[in-house]
């Protein structure tokens, strides 16, 4: 029996808004998402149960990619974190 459930895999897609020439961006929300991403990586590394280790590696890679994108966006907006 696996400990995996649909709630463990719930996610949402980002929404990017531009009004005129101005991009709407919330540093607080981006920082919060970065925290959630770090938590997801920790969960996958330390707690998640996988039958096939390559899937864990793939999933961690997805989270690391998201972490990199968040870091880049924060830096683009001059936000130190």
- Cross-strand pairs, 37: none
Burial category of 35 from C-beta neighbours within 10 Å (exposed 0-12, middle 13-18, buried 19 and up): exposed
Judge whether 9 lies within some domain: no
Does the pTM exceed 0.75?
A: no
Containing structural domain, residue 47: 17-76
User: What is the number of domains present in the chain?
Assistant: 1
Q: Which residues pair with 18 in a beta bridge?
A: 23
State how far the Cα of 42 lies from the Cα of 4, in Å rounded to an integer. Answer: 16
**Residue 7 domain-assigned (yes or no):** no
Q: What is the pLDDT of residue 18?
A: 81
What are the pLDDT tens digits along the chain (81 aa)? 445 444 555 566 667 778 888 878 889 989 999 999 999 999 999 999 999 999 999 999 999 999 999 999 999 989 887
- Residue 68, domain member (yes or no): yes
**Treating both helix axes as pointing N-terminal to C-terminal, what angle do 53-76 and 27-46 enclose, rounded to 10 degrees?**
160
């Amino acid at each position: 029996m696996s400990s995996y459930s649909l709630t463990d895999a719930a996610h949402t897609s980002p929404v990017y808004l531009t009004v005129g020439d101005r991009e709407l961006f919330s540093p607080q929300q981006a920082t919060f998402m970065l925290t959630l991403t770090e938590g997801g990586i920790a969960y996958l590394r330390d707690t998640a149960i996988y039958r096939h280790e390559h899937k864990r590696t793939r999933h961690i890679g997805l989270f690391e990619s998201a972490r990199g994108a968040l870091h880049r966006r924060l830096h683009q907006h001059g936000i130190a974190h």
